[in-house]
A and B are shown apart, each in its own frame.
Chain A
Amino acid sequence: MTGGGVSDWIASEIHRLGKKGALVQLSGGVDSSTVLMLCARALGPENVTALYLPDTATSPETHAFVLSAADAAGVQVVERSIAATIESQQPSVEIDELIRKYAPEYDSATHAYAINISQGLTRQLGALVYQAVIGPRRGQPERVLRLSVDDLRRLIAYQNRKQRTRMLFAYAEAEARNLAVVGASNGDELDSGFVVKYGDDAADICPIGGMSKSQVYELAEAVGVPREIIARPPTTDTYQLAQTQSDYYYALPAAVLTELAARAESGELDAADLSGLAAQCPGWSVDALRQVGTGLAATLRYQHTRSLRFRG
């Protein structure tokens, strides 16, 4: 994979939209860095803007990765903090108070929280069983909190504000410059619902939206994404607490998730023989995988439902 075809596609779609160029929001990860390199190649670096939108939870190293990607692409970076916007939507003190209901000693000056999945229960039930964890800021989780479902919903909604705020900033900056918003969600994320509706899934075009994560890595190498970004372990960079990949979503291989979602969407899930998939997923039963497929279909149904219109 050399990126030639996708670069041509980007140039053609941006032209079709009547835009001067592209705006790519950089997270410091391999997906957005690859998209930036593709856009620079397709449109010329002078017609591409990289947008960096840190908030209070963004790790300090992210900034260095963002600059490294922009430098490699020869693209200008615009930095806008979204911290004040997030704070104006919902004061963080409300979140602190919510967590202190369960951990009175919690102090956001020294502590941080994250929403993880309970790995054991998720595997056992085939459903995402969320739990809140707390620990020292920038450290490892030390304690699991048993939040009520309503409080979990509030925390998840608070976190989703960040992706949606980034989308608002991206469109505002893009419109001001007559640029198209070029998204960086990959096919694995979009096909398994691992995105925030009207958040990181929102863009005018999505060049890697039909590629698996492994294809994105291959492309990243081909288009010259800096080595340190390719080598960086994937992260949501959402919390000020350490997370591993097995802490979020189903912690299943992306190919398994997309296959389960596809089978569920085509109505084949109940009759499908999933023993081959279960063999690839230690600790998972066929029944639990079937349940995952049903859950993914429900998630995707919700995500794909947009401004549904009654036509009479």
Chain B
Amino acid sequence: MKAMWSDVEDELLERVFYAHEDTVVRDSENLAQAGMLDSLSIVAILDILVEMTGNEDAMMRAGSSDFRSLASIHAFYQSL
């Protein structure tokens, strides 16, 4: 069963963005540009989305703009 977004967000903040203040992550409009997102972070986000949706297809459906900000990750998650 698909988890609540708040749980997904907690996982992302704890496992991916742990080096940054939660508010800074939430407020960022471009996580990569702000230095908060590297390639391995994207792998980690995909892992979490697969884990929280139980949907392996999450990886294949993601696009380059889906990881721009926490809001865009949220929108992508809702679409799964």
A→B interface (CB under 8 Å): 120-121, 124-130, 148-149, 152-153, 285, 287-288, 290-291, 294-295, 297-299, 301
Residues of B contacting A121 in the complex (Cβ-Cβ under 8 angstroms)? 46, 59-60, 62
Q: Identify which of A125, A285, A290, A301 contacts B42 (C-beta below 8 A).
A: A125
Apart from A125-B42, A152-B43, list 11 A-B contacts with CB within 8 A: A124-B60, A124-B62, A125-B62, A127-B32, A127-B42, A127-B67, A130-B43, A287-B64, A297-B33, A298-B37, A298-B38
Residues in B26-56 with C-beta less than 8 Å from chain A: 30, 32-33, 35, 37-44, 46-47
Given contacts A127-B42, A148-B47, A152-B43, contact A294 B63 (CB under 8 A): no
The docked-state distance in angstroms from the alpha carbon of A23 to that of B9 is: 52
Other-chain contact of A294, B33, B60, B62 (Cβ < 8 Å): B33
Dominant secondary structure of chain B at its interface with chain A:
helix
Is B65 interfacial (CB-CB < 8 Å)? Answer: yes
Query: A120 contacts which chain B residues (CB < 8 A)?
Result: 60
Interface of A is mostly: helix
Contact of A290 among B38, B47, B62, B64 (CB under 8 A): B64
Say whether A149 contacts B40, CB under 8 Å. Answer: yes
A291-B32, A294-B32, A301-B35 known; A129 vs B64 contact (CB < 8 Å):
no
> Which of B33, B40, B66 sits near A152, CB closer than 8 Å?
B40
Minimum distance in angstroms from B70 CB to a CB of chain A: 16
| Chain B residues within 8 Å of A, Cβ to Cβ | 30, 32-33, 35, 37-44, 46-47, 59-60, 62-67
**Which residues in B have their C-beta under 8 angstroms from that of A287?**
63-65
Q: Bound state CA distance, A126 and B67, in angstroms?
A: 10
Which of A130, A148, A149, A290 has most chain B Cβ within 10 Å?
A: A149
By a CB distance below 8 angstroms, the chain A residues around B33 are 294, 297
CB distance from B60 to the nearest CB of A (A): 8
**Is B64 a contact partner of A124 (Cβ separation < 8 A)?**
yes
A-B contact pairs, 22 of them (CB 8 A): A121-B59, A121-B60, A121-B62, A125-B66, A126-B64, A127-B39, A128-B39, A129-B43, A129-B46, A130-B40, A149-B40, A149-B41, A149-B43, A149-B44, A152-B40, A285-B64, A291-B64, A294-B32, A294-B33, A295-B38, A295-B39, A301-B35
Q: Are B39's CB and A129's CB within 8 A?
A: yes
Q: Does B35 lie within 8 Å of A149, measured CB to CB? A: no
Please tell me if the beta carbons of B63 and A124 are within 8 angstroms of each other in the complex: yes
A120 to chain B, nearest CB (A): 8
Q: A127-B39, A295-B39 are in contact. Are A149 and B64 (CB under 8 A)?
A: no
Q: Which residue of B lies closest to A264 (CB)?
A: B33
A129: B residues at CB distance < 8 A:
39, 42-43, 46
The CA of A129 and the CA of B60, in the complex, are separated in Å by 12
Q: CA separation between A37 and B3, bound complex, in Å? A: 61
Q: Which residues on the B side are within 8 Å of A128 (C-beta)?
A: 39
**B40 A295 Cβ-Cβ under 8 A:** no
In the bound assembly, the distance between CA atoms of A292 and B71 in angstroms comes to: 20
Other-chain contact of A149, B47, B60, B66 (Cβ < 8 Å): B47
Query: How near does chain A come to B63, taking the closest CB pair, in angstroms?
Result: 6
A153 partner residues in chain B, CB cutoff 8 A:
40
- Hey, which chain A residues are within 8 Å of B59, CB to CB? 121
